[in-house]
Amino acid sequence: MIRVNENYLKLQTSYLFSEIAQRVADFQTARPDMEIIKLGIGDVTRALPRACIDAFHRAVDEMADDTTFRGYGPDQGYPFLLEKIARQDFQARGADITEDEIIVSDGAKCDSGNIQELFATDIKIAIPDPVYPVYLDTNVMAGRTGSFIEGRYEGILYLEGSRENGFIPDLPPEPVDLIYLCFPNNPTGVTITKPRLQAWVDFAHEHNALILYDAAYEAFIRDDTLPKSIYEVEGAREVAIEFRSFSKTAGFTGTRCAYTVIPKTCMAFTRNGDRQSLHDMWLRRQTTKFNSVSYPVQRAAEAVYSEEGRAQSQALIDGYMTNADHIRAELAALGYECIGGENSPYIWVDSRTESWKFFDLLLEEAGVVCTPGAGFGRCGEGYVRISAFNSFENVQKAMQRIKKVL
């Protein structure tokens, strides 16, 4: 008899964005005249930078000629891309990362979801609340949790975010083995300073723990005193893995290119206490289950690092951040407390009511879609996430409508 992995049955039936899509579809059916403005799901809306498109086209043409055609590429990614990532994203900021410590992939979602395969099933995991749901759900699927009871999975240590701690969780009150952190944060948009990140790195050293650091939104950091990478913090090379993505940096959500950094000095342990290289284990995993990213996509990603590519990607980010500034200013003028949105495309708004109620109000009265904070965890209740990914015109229109109903 073919049996299922019953851990899947512990998952909450509806993935947050499916529930939102359903409510939006129902509303659109009831009100076909209403033009809905989506400030919900975190997908970019603006076209790829010109430099990326040109590189993409050139690479596609190379694939059409026997003499320049490429088949399977190198397991870690093409050296032309790895070298630029190492130099511009890390070494230029004083982070000691070399190109052989970078592994290219088709997404930070799959990497941050798949990485848990490297770890034992009985480790103690700390996960923020509110949180990007992938970290939690992939551990549920792998059997690292008990059942879902009163809004929480048994066996997980939740790192609570609140107004009091500014949604930057405090260090765990007890030793843990694996810690998920994401800055700039999805969903709250908050960032972390170097001293506070240093405290997490020190905690990991003290407890032989590992930090999984999701920096998918680093490109939105405008305050140059904030770390873009955990490797800008001392001691992180031994205790941290970092996820990065071109999705939000350069509009690659539909093109798919990302990378994971695992320093050669980053170790985990066997039951007997022997040290194992996580870099080697991840590479072994990826070479078994993945065949890297297509040549044209890696050429398009490489173009992000050219002079024009950098300027054009920055223009995209600046456009979204103008939206974020506008959303924050309008909500503040209405007396709503906002977190995030200063170095991040997400604004975390205290809705002063249940978050799904506020979601329904904005949808039904203003035709604007946001994301209810409760979908990101128990600590998200009472908040909504508003995303700056849209045109300025739509954001202005959305805020005008919101002003009329709040």
- Name the residues that contact ligand PLP, by CB under 6 A: 42, 107-109, 112, 132, 182, 186, 214, 216, 245, 247, 253, 258
The DSSP 8-state label assigned to residue 169 in this structure reads P
d(Cα 356, Cα 371) in Å, to the nearest integer?
A: 8
In angstroms, give the least distance from the CB of 243 to ligand PLP. 7
Is the omega angle on the peptide bond into residue 79 within 30 degrees of 0, that is, cis?
A: no
In angstroms, give the least distance from the CB of 107 to ligand PLP. 3
- List the beta strands (DSSP E) in 106-239: 125-129, 148-149, 152-153, 156-160, 178-182, 210-214
Q: Which is nearer to ligand PLP, 245 or 330 (CB)?
A: 245
Q: Which is nearer to ligand PLP, 125 or 402 (CB)?
A: 125
In angstroms, give the least distance from the CB of 249 to ligand PLP. 9
Residue with tokens 């305050």: 223
Q: Which is nearer to ligand PLP, 188 or 367 (CB)?
A: 188
Q: Which is nearer to ligand PLP, 81 or 366 (CB)?
A: 81
Q: Which is nearer to ligand PLP, 366 or 386 (CB)?
A: 386
| Burial zone of 155 (CB within 10 Å; 0-12 exposed, 13-18 middle, 19+ buried) | middle
Beta bridge mates, 372: 384
| Non-local CB neighbours of 288 within 8 Å, separated by 6+ positions | none
In angstroms, give the least distance from the CB of 336 to ligand PLP. 23
In angstroms, give the least distance from the CB of 150 to ligand PLP. 26
In angstroms, give the least distance from the CB of 15 to ligand PLP. 13
CB 323 within 8 A of CB 399: no
Residues 299-325 as b or e (16 or more Cβ within 10 Å = b): bbbbbbbbeebbebbeebbebbbebbe
Q: Which is nearer to ligand PLP, 317 or 366 (CB)?
A: 317
d(Cα 385, Cα 186) in Å, to the nearest integer?
A: 9
Q: Which is nearer to ligand PLP, 126 or 258 (CB)?
A: 258
Check the CA dihedral 91-97-98-103 and report its sign. Answer: negative
The alpha carbons of the chain give a radius of gyration, in whole angstroms, of 21
| Non-local CB neighbours of 128 within 8 Å, separated by 6+ positions | 158, 159, 160, 161, 169, 180, 181, 182, 185, 377
Q: Which two tokens stand for residue 282?
A: 């991840």
Residue whose C-beta lies closest to ligand PLP: 107
In angstroms, give the least distance from the CB of 125 to ligand PLP. 17
Q: Which is nearer to ligand PLP, 108 or 331 (CB)?
A: 108
In angstroms, give the least distance from the CB of 42 to ligand PLP. 4
Q: Which is nearer to ligand PLP, 231 or 361 (CB)?
A: 231
In angstroms, give the least distance from the CB of 188 to ligand PLP. 11
